[in-house]
Amino acid sequence: MKTPEQCSSLDDVRRGIDAMDEQIIRALGRRLAYVKAAAQFKPTEQSIAAPERVAAMLPQRQQWAREAGLDPMFAVPLFAQIIHWNIAQQVRHWRICHGLEQGAQDE
């Protein structure tokens, strides 16, 4: 994949964007695997949300965004959405592992 500076056509740029989007999606999938792995260490369904952890995570992501030259006003809501969706997935996974919910075939 060419760097943005090496692109010599719109097609080069689009290929680069597509490649980056694929990496982002794959990274989100790996992140979800970690989230599901955390379920084994949560004694109760109520312990999953961990609001103190979320409160600590968002400022750190804000700082990382600044360091990467991104607007934190974009990054923080994005990560809030990712975090909250992952919490819902962890709750579902926890319930399946504890026999409280029937899982999908991919569980």
Residue 49 inside a domain? The answer is: yes
Residue 107 inside a domain? The answer is: no
Residue 104 inside a domain? The answer is: no
Give the pLDDT confidence of 30-72 residue by residue, as tens digits.
999 999 999 999 999 999 999 999 999 999 999 999 999 999 9
Question: Domain total for the chain?
Answer: 1
Which pLDDT belongs to residue 107? 52
Task: Dump the DSSP string for 7-75.
Answer: --SHHHHHHHHHHHHHHHHHHHHHHHHHHHHHGGG-SSGGGSS-HHHHHHHHHHHHHHHHHTT--HHHH
Range(s) of the domain holding residue 39: 4-97
Which pLDDT belongs to residue 67? 98
CATH at residue 82: 1.20.59.10
